Structure 1
Amino acid sequence: MAEPQAEVDPQATEEMEIPSSDPPENDKDNDAETPKKNKDDKAFDLGDLVWAKMSSFPAWPGRIVKQWKNVKKPAGKKAVRFVFFFGTEDHAWVKEESLKHYHEHKATLSKAGKGAKFTKAIDAIEEAIVKDQANKGQTTSPYHPPSDEDDDNDDDDIFLKSISKPSKDYSREPMAGKKKLNSSQTSSPSSPGKGSNSSSPFTKISSHLASPKKRGRPPKPMEDGETVTKKATPKKRPSMGGSTAVPGKKSRSDMSFLSLNLYNSFQAHLAQKGETTKKDIKPTEKKIGFIGLGLMGTGMAMNLIKAGHKVTVWNRTSEKCEEFVKAGATQAETVSDLVASCDITFSMVSDSEAVRAIVFGENGVLEGITEGKAFVDMSTVDIGTVTGVSEAVQARDGRFMEAPVCGSVQPAMEGSLIIIAAGDKELYDECESCFQAMGKKAFYLSDTGNAARMKLVINMIIGGVMCCFAEGMALADKSGLSQSVLLDILNLGSIANPLISGKGKAILANKYPPAFPLKYQQKDLKLALAMSEQVDQPLPVASAVNEQFKRAKNMGLGDKDTSAIYKSLTH
């Protein structure tokens, strides 16, 4: 089953073969089946069910849906419509002349295609028709980005006003010495009507995005006199034009090397313990690129350099590259320059939006990809983004592999991450020395998308354990029991593990430096819930945990460590 493609290349939509990655089974007859415009054809509207003809494929069942903000219309004077394809769950711009209304041409065009995927697409659109009879019309894709519907004033989810000039700093490095106002993630929930089905990832998730009611009591004091920041409604940001600075934010130059100092501290700590960080690694001769020098990326990139790899770096905040250059790296001016000059490019950025920005944006990955070039994304993203990026890279004769990691800041600094890879097997083998430098173990899970699924399952479990542990610590304190004794007992029992030990110490100290920011844990829970919708797997516990993490984020705890979930249970 093809995974949903969350992004399409705005420069190549007319050449893309959307419905399936498999060779068509009836190439000889396809040209004859191109829908032709009849004089009596009605005009097309949002939500219409259609037959869409693209390239060498038969006319495929789809729905006209709202355009995504970051997907530009292709150049040209001919009218086009943004279409969601049933069965494959892909998206593309299609010329109106290549569209036909579904019901009027069902009898003939339903016989034009063959194969399991085409049959699945027919079944999916028929299921949507049944649901349409009881619900209002659906005008958005099931995978419509929630941020396209909000007011653009959530600091954690600023979507790009223009995909060509992104302004968000996508590294996972939090602002130091500054409180951040987190408005709630609000989106217009897609109505469960026309075209919606049980596999739609945002059908149930969207209802979770409404902010909780404000509580009447004032916030309790936090450490060092700090108070929990209540949800505020910041003013809308003005248009940023060509500027890459976010209005209202101070310069980050004073904290450019925060991550690097943290890396050096970890290395010094290991040396003091008598542990060696120098592994027996024979670095590849290939030129390596690295995008994203936040808390995670800093350690990963520096470990590549120290292992002897030829590394070129790029970060949205260019000052962060200076110390890497001193360590032996080369700095690229743009992402496309980096990709063009390197054989294998790694990226470690904050989320799916960040990945789409560096891949599809101006001077992005796709502009630098040529035959044989490889792109490896190590971020935690949704399945649709992975699939879309993979297809876009391969369409330019490039190679793609996803390789999300298990581990937080400390393993990243120590070079002891667990790497979960899927995609191009030959590329996986070529990355051996890089994976040795960045991690302690790498797993290969075959087809693209499997690594993202595995990572989301793992992070969902971690989030559940963390929330339940925090509840236990809160209950112990409320009952007059010693939290320290509780932690000692847990660390001596069968539940003992680094997560309980490390997060427990943070709770006892009432300090939450971001080993893994809480907002990213909530993001991964949201993605896991979306995945569960696709396979009809109920996740009642994870749903409740996600709500608690959302509450914590709305209290201003998003940039703190996941262990700060404890504060949302005690305030």
Structure 2
Amino acid sequence: MAPVSLQLGDLVWGRLGPYPPWPGKIIPPPEELEKPRGKKWYFVKFFGVEDHAWIESGQLKPYLAYKEEMIKKTKGKRFQRAVEAVEELLGTDKKKDQTLCHSSDPESATMNGMTAMAAFEWQPTASGPLKDIDPHFHHFLLSQTGKPAISSQTIIKKLKVCGEDTGSTSTQAADSTAMNGSIAPTHKKIGFLGVGLMGSGIISNLLKTGHVVTVWNGTAVTEGARLGRTPAEVVSTCDITFACMPDPKTAQDVVLGPRGVLQGIRSGKCYVDLSTTDADTVTELAQLIVSRGGRFLEAPVSGNQQQANDGMLVILAAGDRDLYEDCSSCFQAIGKTSFFLGEVGNAAKMMLIVNMVQGSFMATIAEGLSLAQETGQSQQTFLDILNQGPLASIFLYQKYQNILQGNVEPDFYLKYIQKDLRLAIALGSAVNHPTPMAAAANEVYKRAKALD
């Protein structure tokens, strides 16, 4: 897009990275939000996604002048709702203009117009103040605009076979946020163990979609949920209990420890482990649960804290296929897509491989940034080039924005990605398969841990 002359209050089409243009409005940024360096930036509120972001002037076009062109290019219900919101605003503004033109009090008319503008310019959303809103969720939504919205019943009944050689299937949830209104929550009582970086967002989305949830190990972030005193109590009083633990040892402890899961499991009770562990650990837990008459599903989740908050995780499941289908409404509430990968252990292996690739990629990006700095090259230009080239991705764009804005808040803790790399390397060793790139990245993360 070529740079254009814009001003506060203009309706625009804004492009973020490689994604389709989206309708928005230029508004004043909150005082505490720092403007990016270089170029000319505008702060834009996007319609239909309750999202805000700094957009460079070259990535903006006037709304009315390019409306027909943009509508032809982009489809999807979320996009249509965004355009409808703009048109509704235009219609409202037109009526206000007519009213103001007929006003006998010019000063009053001016004040009314200013008040109407101010009311739209900046309002905190239900998600909280701007500092708590991650603008990257919008970019993820844009990548989904080509997918048709589908009902929860269609999701349950129609599974897309993704790989006959592995027996994996994928349930596509399209846009989880857009579908929340059509998710029919299961009548089963849901338990949840572990309210950490990921767990709090997952629980919140279960509650928002009407699930009855009892939690253990958390209070402040679980408003609306019931509180269980022990893992055993939660499992014994709920039909399906999810657990989200940070590492294999904690995943074992919550099952085997005093007043743990095993003491509450009985025939018909279901246990779904969302933790990222190794195949041996999850297989052991599955055997223990089943030996007590319970049903077991492993379902590690791929994504960061913001994706957990936004209900856009990717779920990798394996084990009891009937239990996987019983969890359908829960998976729709917390995730964008869920895959069924066959027997227990397969999801753990796949999750470690996925995290191995992401961890190695991030280490390489960091190395490139530091080399650019040491050789006098612009880090921003380096990231701009990557983001506009064949390596462009949601993951890269998120990291790109955080790095340039100096945002060091963790969305995935260092110690956990290092744990996943270590387990992935061990997985390779178990089948005598070399993982030299992961081993090199692991040494980088080990060094970072040592430096605290």
The reply to whether TM is greater than 0.5 is yes
**Equivalent of residue 219 in structure 2, options 296, 321, 324:** 321
**Equivalent of residue 373 in structure 1, options 261, 264, 269:** 269
SS in 2 for 1:286: coil
Q: Quick one: percent identity of the two aligned structures?
A: 46
- What are the residue-to-residue correspondences of 1:183-198 with 2, within 5 Å? none
Contact 1:487–1:504 (CA under 8 A) maintained in structure 2: yes
| Structure with more helix by fraction | 2
Distance 2:250 2:290 in 1: 20
Distance 1:405 1:292 in 2: 14
Following superposition, the deviation at residue 506 of structure 1 comes to 2.7
- What are the residue-to-residue correspondences of 1:43-442 with 2, within 5 Å? 265-266=132-133, 276=178, 278-315=180-217, 320-324=218-222, 326-327=223-224, 329-442=225-338
Following superposition, the deviation at residue 265 of structure 1 comes to 3.7
From the superposition, tell whether residues 381 and 270 of structure 1 become closer, same or farther in structure 2 (CA, over 3 Å): closer
| Structure with more strand by fraction | 2
Following superposition, the deviation at residue 443 of structure 1 comes to 0.3
Q: Which residue of structure 2 lines up, in the alignment, with residue 520 of structure 1? A: 416
Listed one character per residue, the Cα deviations across residues 225-251 of structure 1 (whole Å, up to 9, x for unaligned) are xxxxxxxxxxxxxxxxxxxxxxxxxxx
Contact 1:267–1:414 (CA under 8 A) maintained in structure 2: no
- What are the residue-to-residue correspondences of 1:14-33 with 2, within 5 Å? none
Across the aligned residues of Structure 1 and Structure 2, the Cα RMSD in angstroms comes to 2.3
Distance 2:238 2:287 in 1: 20
Q: Which residue of structure 1 lines up, in the alignment, with residue 372 of structure 2? A: 476
Contact 1:422–1:446 (CA under 8 A) maintained in structure 2: yes
Does 1:507 find its partner at 2:403?
Answer: yes
Which stretches of structure 1, 4 residues or longer, exceed 2 Å deviation after superposition?
Answer: 260-271, 273-279, 504-511
Contact 1:339–1:365 (CA under 8 A) maintained in structure 2: yes
Listed one character per residue, the Cα deviations across residues 239-268 of structure 1 (whole Å, up to 9, x for unaligned) are xxxxxxxxxxxxxxxxxxxxx979994499
SS in 2 for 1:421: strand
Following superposition, the deviation at residue 510 of structure 1 comes to 3.5
From the superposition, tell whether residues 411 and 345 of structure 1 become closer, same or farther in structure 2 (CA, over 3 Å): same
TM-score of the two chains, using structure 1 as the length reference: 0.49
Distance 1:270 1:509 in 2: 16
SS in 1 for 2:344: coil
TM-score of the two chains, using structure 2 as the length reference: 0.61
Which residue identity does 2:209 align to in structure 1?
A
Distance 1:371 1:538 in 2: 42
Q: Which residue of structure 2 lines up, in the alignment, with residue 550 of structure 1? A: 446
Which residue identity does 2:219 align to in structure 1?
C
SS in 2 for 1:515: coil
Contact 1:459–1:525 (CA under 8 A) maintained in structure 2: yes
Alignment coverage as a number of residue pairs: 290
Which residue identity does 1:554 align to in structure 2?
A
Following superposition, the deviation at residue 488 of structure 1 comes to 1.0
Contact 2:136–2:398 (CA under 8 A) maintained in structure 1: no
From the superposition, tell whether residues 388 and 396 of structure 1 become closer, same or farther in structure 2 (CA, over 3 Å): same
Contact 2:236–2:265 (CA under 8 A) maintained in structure 1: yes
Which residue identity does 1:489 align to in structure 2?
I
Contact 2:137–2:307 (CA under 8 A) maintained in structure 1: no
Q: Which residue of structure 1 lines up, in the alignment, with residue 433 of structure 2? A: 537
Q: Which residue of structure 1 lines up, in the alignment, with residue 347 of structure 2? A: 451
SS in 2 for 1:284: coil
Distance 1:345 1:456 in 2: 23
Contact 1:277–1:414 (CA under 8 A) maintained in structure 2: no
SS in 1 for 2:182: coil
Listed one character per residue, the Cα deviations across residues 85-135 of structure 1 (whole Å, up to 9, x for unaligned) are xxxxxxxxxxxxxxxxxxxxxxxxxxxxxxxxxxxxxxxxxxxxxxxxxxx
Contact 1:279–1:437 (CA under 8 A) maintained in structure 2: no
Listed one character per residue, the Cα deviations across residues 51-98 of structure 1 (whole Å, up to 9, x for unaligned) are xxxxxxxxxxxxxxxxxxxxxxxxxxxxxxxxxxxxxxxxxxxxxxxx
Distance 1:432 1:466 in 2: 32
Following superposition, the deviation at residue 279 of structure 1 comes to 4.0
Distance 1:314 1:475 in 2: 46
From the superposition, tell whether residues 484 and 322 of structure 1 become closer, same or farther in structure 2 (CA, over 3 Å): closer
Which residue identity does 2:356 align to in structure 1?
M
Following superposition, the deviation at residue 277 of structure 1 comes to 7.1
Contact 1:270–1:277 (CA under 8 A) maintained in structure 2: no
Distance 1:546 1:484 in 2: 26
Which residue identity does 1:321 align to in structure 2?
T
Contact 1:464–1:542 (CA under 8 A) maintained in structure 2: yes
From the superposition, tell whether residues 291 and 433 of structure 1 become closer, same or farther in structure 2 (CA, over 3 Å): same
SS in 2 for 1:418: strand
Following superposition, the deviation at residue 551 of structure 1 comes to 0.3
Following superposition, the deviation at residue 269 of structure 1 comes to 9.7
Following superposition, the deviation at residue 414 of structure 1 comes to 0.4
Which residue identity does 1:378 align to in structure 2?
L
Distance 1:263 1:410 in 2: 14
Which residue identity does 1:307 align to in structure 2?
T
From the superposition, tell whether residues 262 and 467 of structure 1 become closer, same or farther in structure 2 (CA, over 3 Å): farther
Distance 2:181 2:305 in 1: 19
